[in-house]
Amino acid sequence: MEDKTVLLGLSSEELENWAIAQGHNSFRGRQLHKWIYEKGAKTLNEITVLPKAWRFDLENEGVRVGRLKEIKRSIAHDSTLKLLLSTQDSETIETVGIPTRERLTVCVSSQVGCPMDCQFCATGQGGFRRSLMAHEIVDQVLSVREVMQRRPSHVVFMGMGEPLLNIEEVLAAIRCLGRDLSIGHRKITISTVGVHNTLPKLAELSLRSLGRAQFTLALSLHAPNQKLRETLIPTAKNYPINNLLDDCKKYFNRTGRRVSFEYILLGSLNDSVDHAKELAALLDGFKSHINLIAYNPIDNVDFKRPDSKCVEMFKQVLEQRGVVVTLRASRGLDQNAACGQLRSQHAKFK
């Protein structure tokens, strides 16, 4: 753990050892674990089972639970929750809770801002500040749980930031989510636009730190060819699409986990029948899964939401060519739920 004064992110065993090092019985560590992960304590003062004098000493030493502060929340008509949270160094990040009858998915951020500069994304407009630490990622899940008063079942790294530029902290957060919040790794998804030479690292570090790579890796393609992809994702110039797909195959061979693909449909730009045919040909042989996402409009960007008929036709063309497709329903449109929007609005009116 990078910040030695933060308790969130530590396992029950680690908290027991920490309590012993502090001169207390190991059961104090188990109490800390229960209050942090089950009860959601945000400060040491809330953990009233601990001796008051010890709590006072810890606070004077700068020890803290490591929770973030809620700055703003918005709830859409479809019950999608969006939270703007403040870190210890006063940066702001977003997280989203997406409920259905069967599940509660938390969309978490892995960085403050993002350096990838995807042209259709509000996060990239705000620039990049820093990567998040594991406890700042885990906190987002706890925060959504508290507001929605419901246990999260799934976590997706599809919020602010590029997870593969923060691999070690992302994997530490996944370890904590599985170990301490009982969210199975198969219910966790890491979404990436692709960063050169990081997929082999992700595979090796996953096997080393988690013992396996059971989470889902989702590659955001958003274009069926290199030329169009470069116009949408500037960093793609350094990572040709064929090389990226070759690395996906290597990732599968090393981990045994297939890669799924994300494709944002942008009106009159990448949503034609010809684009669908080209995409099917590009992914021929992968036997994988494609999530289609209709673009969520943001301010100051010219991209537009695709026509519903174009979306359905795109889906049909892929299915006719044997591609497994899911059309992901847009959520929170009336509350600007696209990545980075709540943060940018907050910054605008500060």
Active-site residues: which are they? 94, 339
Q: Which amino acid is at 65?
A: V
Q: Which amino acid is at 321?
A: R
The residues near 89 (Cβ < 8 Å, ≥ 6 apart) are none
CB 109 within 8 A of CB 132: yes
CB 333 within 8 A of CB 341: no
- Residue 2's nearest CA partner among 169, 128, 198, 206 is 169
Rounded to an integer, what is the distance from CA 140 to the centroid of its chain? 10
Rounded to an integer, what is the distance from CA 28 to the centroid of its chain? 32
Helices 167-181 and 134-148, interaxial angle, to 10°?
A: 40
CB 157 within 8 A of CB 164: no
* Residue 233 Cα distances to 195, 221, 292, angstroms: 11, 9, 17
